[in-house]
Amino acid sequence: MSEIQDISSPVGVPVDEDQSNKTKILCERCSSVILLPNKAKHTKKEFYLPHMKKKTDTSSPGDGETVEDFWVVDDMFTFENVGFSNTVDGIKYLICADCEIGPVGFHDTNDKKAFFIAHCRIKYDG
Protein backbone atom coordinates (compact mmCIF):
# COMPACT_ATOMS: atom_id res chain seq x y z
CA MET A 1 0.00 0.00 0.00
CA SER A 2 1.45 3.33 -1.01
CA GLU A 3 0.93 6.47 1.00
CA ILE A 4 0.26 9.65 -0.88
CA GLN A 5 2.00 12.57 0.77
CA ASP A 6 -0.18 15.66 0.94
CA ILE A 7 2.32 18.38 0.09
CA SER A 8 0.02 21.10 1.37
CA SER A 9 0.48 19.77 4.90
CA PRO A 10 3.75 20.64 6.60
CA VAL A 11 5.72 17.87 8.29
CA GLY A 12 4.33 17.01 11.68
CA VAL A 13 0.78 18.24 11.19
CA PRO A 14 -1.39 15.13 11.63
CA VAL A 15 -4.30 15.90 9.32
CA ASP A 16 -7.03 13.51 8.32
CA GLU A 17 -8.40 13.28 4.76
CA ASP A 18 -10.90 16.01 5.60
CA GLN A 19 -8.15 18.33 6.93
CA SER A 20 -9.23 17.82 10.54
CA ASN A 21 -6.89 16.92 13.40
CA LYS A 22 -6.12 13.21 13.50
CA THR A 23 -5.02 13.13 17.12
CA LYS A 24 -5.75 14.92 20.35
CA ILE A 25 -4.20 18.36 20.65
CA LEU A 26 -2.46 18.80 24.00
CA CYS A 27 -0.79 21.55 25.97
CA GLU A 28 2.92 21.35 25.24
CA ARG A 29 3.76 21.99 28.86
CA CYS A 30 1.24 20.10 31.02
CA SER A 31 -0.40 17.73 28.45
CA SER A 32 -3.86 19.04 29.27
CA VAL A 33 -6.28 18.21 26.42
CA ILE A 34 -7.12 21.30 24.36
CA LEU A 35 -8.99 19.63 21.48
CA LEU A 36 -10.27 16.12 20.83
CA PRO A 37 -9.61 14.43 17.44
CA ASN A 38 -11.50 15.70 14.36
CA LYS A 39 -12.69 18.86 16.11
CA ALA A 40 -10.55 21.39 14.25
CA LYS A 41 -9.52 22.10 10.66
CA HIS A 42 -5.98 22.75 9.54
CA THR A 43 -5.59 26.16 7.98
CA LYS A 44 -2.80 28.29 6.58
CA LYS A 45 -2.67 31.79 7.95
CA GLU A 46 0.12 34.18 8.77
CA PHE A 47 -0.27 35.62 12.22
CA TYR A 48 2.19 37.21 14.61
CA LEU A 49 2.09 35.59 18.05
CA PRO A 50 4.08 36.70 21.09
CA HIS A 51 6.44 34.05 22.49
CA MET A 52 5.07 31.60 25.03
CA LYS A 53 5.23 32.44 28.68
CA LYS A 54 3.24 31.99 31.83
CA LYS A 55 0.59 34.61 32.46
CA THR A 56 2.31 35.56 35.69
CA ASP A 57 5.74 35.90 34.05
CA THR A 58 6.24 39.51 33.10
CA SER A 59 10.03 39.45 32.99
CA SER A 60 10.53 38.90 29.26
CA PRO A 61 9.75 41.58 26.67
CA GLY A 62 6.84 41.07 24.29
CA ASP A 63 8.62 39.77 21.23
CA GLY A 64 7.28 36.94 19.11
CA GLU A 65 7.21 35.15 15.77
CA THR A 66 5.03 34.80 12.69
CA VAL A 67 3.15 31.50 12.76
CA GLU A 68 1.72 29.97 9.56
CA ASP A 69 -0.05 26.74 10.52
CA PHE A 70 -3.17 26.80 12.63
CA TRP A 71 -6.07 24.64 13.71
CA VAL A 72 -9.34 26.53 13.53
CA VAL A 73 -12.66 25.86 15.28
CA ASP A 74 -15.84 27.94 14.94
CA ASP A 75 -17.05 27.73 18.54
CA MET A 76 -15.14 28.22 21.79
CA PHE A 77 -17.17 25.40 23.38
CA THR A 78 -15.41 23.00 21.01
CA PHE A 79 -12.34 23.32 23.21
CA GLU A 80 -11.90 20.86 26.05
CA ASN A 81 -9.73 23.16 27.99
CA VAL A 82 -8.66 26.67 27.07
CA GLY A 83 -8.43 30.04 28.71
CA PHE A 84 -8.39 33.57 27.37
CA SER A 85 -6.04 36.42 28.07
CA ASN A 86 -7.05 40.06 28.05
CA THR A 87 -8.10 41.53 24.70
CA VAL A 88 -5.35 43.53 23.00
CA ASP A 89 -6.32 45.51 19.86
CA GLY A 90 -9.31 43.24 19.25
CA ILE A 91 -7.28 40.05 19.69
CA LYS A 92 -7.84 37.64 22.55
CA TYR A 93 -4.94 35.26 23.09
CA LEU A 94 -5.75 31.67 23.99
CA ILE A 95 -3.88 30.09 26.88
CA CYS A 96 -3.87 26.67 28.54
CA ALA A 97 -6.59 26.70 31.20
CA ASP A 98 -4.54 24.43 33.47
CA CYS A 99 -0.99 25.82 33.50
CA GLU A 100 -1.77 29.21 31.91
CA ILE A 101 1.07 28.95 29.39
CA GLY A 102 0.41 30.87 26.22
CA PRO A 103 -0.46 32.13 23.83
CA VAL A 104 -1.26 28.79 22.23
CA GLY A 105 -3.53 30.57 19.77
CA PHE A 106 -5.79 33.57 19.29
CA HIS A 107 -9.29 34.79 18.62
CA ASP A 108 -10.09 37.91 16.61
CA THR A 109 -13.08 39.52 18.34
CA ASN A 110 -14.26 40.85 14.94
CA ASP A 111 -14.73 37.27 13.76
CA LYS A 112 -16.93 35.44 16.26
CA LYS A 113 -16.70 32.15 14.38
CA ALA A 114 -12.96 31.59 14.32
CA PHE A 115 -10.67 30.43 17.12
CA PHE A 116 -7.13 29.55 16.11
CA ILE A 117 -4.65 27.18 17.79
CA ALA A 118 -1.05 27.39 16.56
CA HIS A 119 0.48 24.10 15.36
CA CYS A 120 3.90 25.03 16.74
CA ARG A 121 2.58 25.91 20.21
CA ILE A 122 0.95 22.59 21.08
CA LYS A 123 1.77 18.89 20.93
CA TYR A 124 -0.09 15.87 19.63
CA ASP A 125 -1.19 12.74 21.41
CA GLY A 126 0.74 9.91 19.78
Q: Are 60 and 72 contacting, i.e. CB atoms less than 8 angstroms apart?
A: no
| Site for Zn ion contains 42 (CB under 5 A) | no
What sign does the CA torsion over 112, 41, 36, 123 have? negative
| Site for Zn ion contains 54 (CB under 5 A) | no
Q: How far is the CB of 33 from Zn ion (least distance, A)?
A: 10
| Site for Zn ion contains 120 (CB under 5 A) | no
Total number of residues that touch Zn ion (CB under 5 A): 7
Q: Which of 30, 60, 65, 88 binds Zn ion (CB under 5 A)?
A: 30
Identity (one letter) of the amino acid at 33?
A: V
What are the residues binding Zn ion (CB under 5 A)?
A: 27, 29-30, 32, 96, 98-99
